[in-house]
Amino acid sequence: MTGNNKYHPDPSFSQLDLWGNKHEVQLEDFKVAREYVRSLKLKSQTDWDKVVKSGKLKGIHIPAHPDRVYKNHGWKNWDDWLGTEDPPEPEKQSSSNVFAAPAGENLWSSTVKSKWMNFFEARQVVREYGFEYQEEWELLINGKFPEREPLPDHIPGNPDQVYSHVGWKDWKDWLMHTDKQISYTEFYKSRDFVRSNRIADKGSWRNFLKVNTRLIIDYQMVLPERPHLEYRDSGWKSWEDWLGNEISYRDFKSTKKYIHSLKLKNRQEWQAFCQGQITHIPKRTANIFAYPEIAYRDEGWKDWNDWLGTARTEEVASTPPETHEIIIDCKCKGRIEHCPDCDGKGYYTVRLS
**Structural domain boundaries in the chain:** 15-82, 103-180, 187-243, 252-317, 321-353
Question: Is residue 90's pLDDT more than 70?
Answer: no
Phi-psi sector, 210: left (phi>0), alpha (psi -120 to 50), beta:
alpha
Mean pLDDT over residues 313-336, rounded? 62
Contact yes or no for 94/141 (Cβ under 8 A): no
Question: Is residue 301's pLDDT more than 90?
Answer: yes
Give the least confident one: 69-78, 171-180, 228-237.
Answer: 69-78
Predicted confidence band of residue 88 (pLDDT cuts 50, 70, 90): low
Class of residue 301 by CB neighbours under 10 A (exposed 0-12, middle 13-18, buried 19+)? middle
Tell me the HSE value of 183 on the side-chain side, using a 13 A CA sphere.
3
Contact yes or no for 330/342 (Cβ under 8 A): yes
Residue 91 or 267, more confident: 267
**Cα distance between residue 285 and residue 305, in whole Å:** 21
**Cα distance between residue 156 and residue 141, in whole Å:** 9
Question: Is residue 244's pLDDT more than 80?
Answer: yes
Mean pLDDT of the chain: 80
Mean pLDDT over residues 256-270, rounded? 94
Cβ neighbour number for residue 173 with a 10 Å cutoff: 14
Question: Is residue 109's pLDDT more than 70?
Answer: no
Question: Is residue 8's pLDDT more than 50?
Answer: no
Percent of the chain topping pLDDT 70: 76
Provide the pLDDT for residue 9: 45
Question: Is residue 316's pLDDT more than 60?
Answer: no
Smallest CA-to-CA distance from 114 within 140, 83, 143 is with: 83
Which residues partner with 328 through β-bridges? 348
Class of residue 273 by CB neighbours under 10 A (exposed 0-12, middle 13-18, buried 19+)? buried
pTM (predicted TM-score): 0.55
